[in-house]
Structure 1
Amino acid sequence: MKTMIHDTPEAIGAHLSARILAEIGAANAAGRPYVLGCPGGRSPTPVYQALERQLTAAPVDCSRLVIAMMDEYLLPDGDGFSPPAASAHYSCRGFGAREIVGRINRALPDALRMPETNFRMPSLTDPAAYDGELATLGGIDLFLLASGAGDGHIAFNPPGSARDSRTRIVTLAEQTRRDNLATFPDFRGIEEVPTHGLTIGIGSIATLSKAVAMIVWGDGKREAFCRLSAATAYDPSWPATILAECRNGELHADAAAGARP
């Protein structure tokens, strides 16, 4: 696993955005799609902002780009669940449409834009099918990852998740819900944070990704950085340590998160 310390979150974003755009160009030349795995939330936002800036300055054909999202909140609905409306402030689908696809397409002329059909989410009715869908696309070229600050959750996989877990519905850990009060500040309290989610699995990430880039920044992610940088194998007490078992794994931190005690 390669570890890189950048001066600022913006520097992380610029570095990874440049890599992504170069790899999209190479995939275009080979006539194949480029699949980018994306989390929502604060950690990857500098990458999405940098993609918009860099594409505005030097457009790249993103018509073959596929965005594969990691997870979505679920709300009780009779005897089952349903996702929140995309307009909800905490909707992962809404975040992806606005902050990832929206930024990319806003920077590009019509002919180069990513089609809406290339935006992928796990299916509530058949979660396990997501793994097969991504495998059919050839796997995930680069999966951007983020670690929960308080419990190391990755996507919505709680502590204790099995190494071979696949895309599924999970009960959110209490600490995960508390972490997400900061991620989505419009929540007025823990009681408003959903208790269930649809998530890509730990095994899905490791099996389907050709390369991964874990992003941690800010003082609040120092413990995450320490746990991840020391990991040599998956530790279910801190699920983001699957990074250690992924192919071509990289850990990207800013100076604040990467500062040693």
Structure 2
Amino acid sequence: MEVVIGSAAQVARWAADAVEALLRARPDAVLGLATGSSPLALYDELARRHAEAGLSFARARAFLLDEYVGLSPEHPERYRAVIERELASRVDFAEGAVHAPDGGAADIAAACAAYEAAIREAGGVDLQILGIGTDGHLAFNEPGSSLASRTRIKTLTEQTRQDNARFFDGDADAVPRHVLTQGLGTIMEARHLVLLATGRAKAEAVHRMVEGGVSAMWPASVLQLHPHVTVLLDDAAASRLQLADHFRQTWAHKPAWQGL
């Protein structure tokens, strides 16, 4: 696990650098996209690079981490709509290239199995963007989730519903109770995981993820077992890390040829 600490603006640029390097080398790469607040600055930076530097997504495909269950297709906070608004409509993804779990499916179990199959048929995810919840959840794998879990329905904790109320005009009761989410086992099959976290509210979860034991009570800690994880933090999110100075020194002296 590589931990890189800088400003919030640097976090977005570093993540964009990783995406751009992949797409320049492999234009048909498969991306994993996250929603929430953490990746928004990254998506702004990718849209800017598309408009100003010709970064193309035309041959790429993408899979979302999760989706609410029961929101109407027209709801602005449906994650497929969020990704369309924040990224897909601002770059040149081909029609049908961005996929999401079907939160409105009549047969939820079949929809989850089909989503797993679609990821496999695409060859797997090359680079997965991630955020982290204040309770350490990854995608919507809440505390207690199996570290080997696959795409499935989950019930949100009240903490997560409170955290997400900001997207529903501050009304936690409007946040759906159920979601479809890629499992931890599914996420761990992506070839490169890039996690972004900013703000002091994420500091404890980041500490547990990076420096704690691997535990289902802090689902993001499973990333310690992945061979290629990049954790991008601002100073506030890194404020609980005991090894923060070491991580800064390591980054400052990293050979340029290694990249992220």
TM-score normalized by structure 2? 0.85
SS across alignment from 2:217: coil
CA distance in 2, matches of 1:192, 1:135: 34
Tell me which amino acid in the other structure corresponds to 1:16. A
Corresponding position: 1:139 with 2:119: no
Task: Give a deviation string over 1:203-233, Cα, whole Å, max 9, x none.
Answer: 11012x0010111101211112211221453
CA distance in 2, matches of 1:103, 1:166: 31
SS across alignment from 1:24: helix
Give the match for residue 92 of structure 1. 79
CA distance in 2, matches of 1:219, 1:260: 9
Distance 1:241 1:120, change over 3 A: same
CA distance in 1, matches of 2:61, 2:213: 31
Instruction: Give the alignment of 1:16-35 within 5 angstroms.
Output: 16-28=15-27, 33-35=28-30
Tell me which amino acid in the other structure corresponds to 2:191. K
Give the match for residue 56 of structure 2. 61
Counterpart contact for 1:152–1:238, Cα < 8 Å: yes
Give the deviation of 1:69 after TM superposition: 0.4
Distance 1:202 1:260, change over 3 A: closer
Tell me which amino acid in the other structure corresponds to 2:6. H
Give the match for residue 196 of structure 2. 215
- The partner residue of 1:171 within 136, 142, 155 is 155
Give the match for residue 256 of structure 2. none
CA distance in 1, matches of 2:213, 2:96: 38
Counterpart contact for 1:146–1:240, Cα < 8 Å: no
Give the match for residue 95 of structure 2. 116
Counterpart contact for 1:142–1:212, Cα < 8 Å: yes
Task: Give a deviation string over 1:76-126, Cα, whole Å, max 9, x none.
Answer: xxxxxxxx234423211110111120222xxxxxxxx21121011123442
CA distance in 1, matches of 2:76, 2:208: 30
Percent identical pairs in the alignment equals 33
CA distance in 2, matches of 1:96, 1:159: 25
Give the deviation of 1:188 after TM superposition: 3.6
Give the match for residue 78 of structure 1. none
CA distance in 2, matches of 1:245, 1:130: 24
Give the deviation of 1:260 after TM superposition: 3.5
Corresponding position: 1:246 with 2:233: no
Tell me which amino acid in the other structure corresponds to 2:3. T
Counterpart contact for 2:136–2:206, Cα < 8 Å: no
Give the match for residue 249 of structure 2. none
SS across alignment from 1:214: strand
CA distance in 2, matches of 1:228, 1:145: 13
Give the deviation of 1:178 after TM superposition: 1.4
Give the match for residue 258 of structure 2. none
CA distance in 1, matches of 2:129, 2:25: 19
Task: Give a deviation string over 1:3-47, Cα, whole Å, max 9, x none.
Answer: 00012x22111111122112111113xxxx211111111001111
Task: Give a deviation string over 1:56-79, Cα, whole Å, max 9, x none.
Answer: 22102321111210111112xxxx
- The partner residue of 2:39 within 26, 41, 44 is 44
- The partner residue of 1:259 within 233, 239, 247 is 239
CA distance in 1, matches of 2:212, 2:90: 34
CA distance in 2, matches of 1:72, 1:63: 24
Task: Give a deviation string over 1:131-160, Cα, whole Å, max 9, x none.
Answer: 2211221111111111111x2111111111
* Superposition CA RMSD, Å: 1.6
Aligned residues between the structures:
235
CA distance in 1, matches of 2:55, 2:171: 42
CA distance in 1, matches of 2:90, 2:12: 14
CA distance in 2, matches of 1:258, 1:136: 37
